[in-house]
Structure 1
Amino acid sequence: MHAEGYHTHGDDTPNSATIAERKRQRDEVASEIEAFLAQGGGITTIDDNVRADPPKKPESNYGSRPI
């Protein structure tokens, strides 16, 4: 096993993890979330279309060089 959740079969192509491995990973994440919330952490849900960095205005360099 090279990376977490991936198995290799000689050709190094990622395959889906087994059902038992996925359940173990889900249980591990759930326990980490419970511990985070128990220590006073919080989870905030945001809309799908919200971005951390808004798009930049395009810059034009057309005609900026002297002739």
Structure 2
Amino acid sequence: MKKFVWLVVGVAVGFVVAHEVNQTKQGKQFFNDLDVKAREFGEAISDGYRQREAELRDAIAEDAPER
């Protein structure tokens, strides 16, 4: 239970610090850059997933017997 309380306290302190940092010009730029990089990463993961899914569907279609 003590560990859970410390976890909650740590998360709360992290949010407060992030909020205060976001109030500065440099903080806003940091979080904007972080947001852009996270979105690019997410898009790259999605694109890779779609490409792999298409490859697997093509492979299944090639192995399927024709009717």
TM-score, normalised to structure 2's length? 0.41
